């Protein structure tokens, strides 16, 4: 039988890479506007605050693969502008006017997993949400979380209900 142990909020340690002179730790979190990413953002913010780390929220966007008469751009126009609005509205919803003091926001034109893996290159922790759909499917991990958990250069926290 598995028992849940309380989460200790100790900073993760990492070995310094050659030429690495960062004096602060960094927590990267993927934000896509979903309920799962909002939970991940809250968790990452709490963790970053308790360890003194910088919180780095990353939203990725890509161009649709099929462009033609069936392609309908978002109401905001180009995908990058839409991604910026998603990031801003998600941060506003999660934090309101009390944003974390050490919050950094980035919008990247890349596949979400690739963007997060690149952002986590010198991070101490990567945080992503789970995209389960209830019941048995809730135990399954989404494709971005799966890729991040396999290829991240740092520890990965996958946040779910």
Whole-number CA gyration radius for the chain = 17
DSSP three-state, residue 111: coil
Predicted pLDDT at 56? 98
Tell me: the pLDDT tens digits for 13-72? 444 443 444 557 999 999 999 999 999 999 999 999 999 999 999 999 887 666 555 556
Q: How many CB atoms lie within 10 A of CB 6?
A: 5
> Per-domain residue ranges for the chain?
26-63+74-159
Q: Whose CA is closest to 20, among 150, 126, 154?
A: 154
Percent of the chain with pLDDT over 90: 54
Predicted pLDDT at 50? 95
26-63+74-159: which CATH number, 3.90.1150.10, 3.30.360.10, 3.40.50.620, 3.40.640.10? 3.40.50.620
Which tokens sit at 101?
């003091």
Residue 90 has pLDDT above 60, yes or no: yes
The residue written with tokens 């596949």 in the block is 111
Helices 143-151 and 112-119 cross at an angle (nearest 10°) of 30
Q: Please give the model's pTM, rounded to 2 decimal places.
A: 0.77
């Amino acid at each position: 039988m598995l028992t849940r142990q309380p989460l200790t909020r100790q900073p993760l340690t990492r070995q310094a890479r050659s030429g690495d002179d960062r004096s602060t730790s960094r927590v990267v979190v993927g934000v896509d506007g979903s309920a799962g990413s909002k939970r991940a953002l809250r968790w990452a913010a709490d963790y970053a605050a308790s360890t003194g780390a910088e919180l780095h929220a990353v939203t990725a966007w890509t161009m649709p693969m099929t462009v033609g008469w069936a392609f309908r751009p978002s109401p905001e126009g180009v995908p990058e502008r839409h991604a910026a609005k998603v990031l801003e509205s998600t941060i506003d919803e999660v934090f309101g006017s009390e944003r974390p003091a050490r919050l950094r926001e980035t919008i990247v034109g890349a596949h979400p997993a690739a963007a997060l893996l690149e952002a986590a290159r010198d991070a101490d922790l990567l945080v992503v949400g789970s995209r389960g759909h209830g019941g048995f499917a809730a135990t399954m991990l989404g494709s971005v979380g799966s890729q991040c958990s396999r290829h991240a250069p740092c520890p990965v926290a996958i946040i779910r209900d």
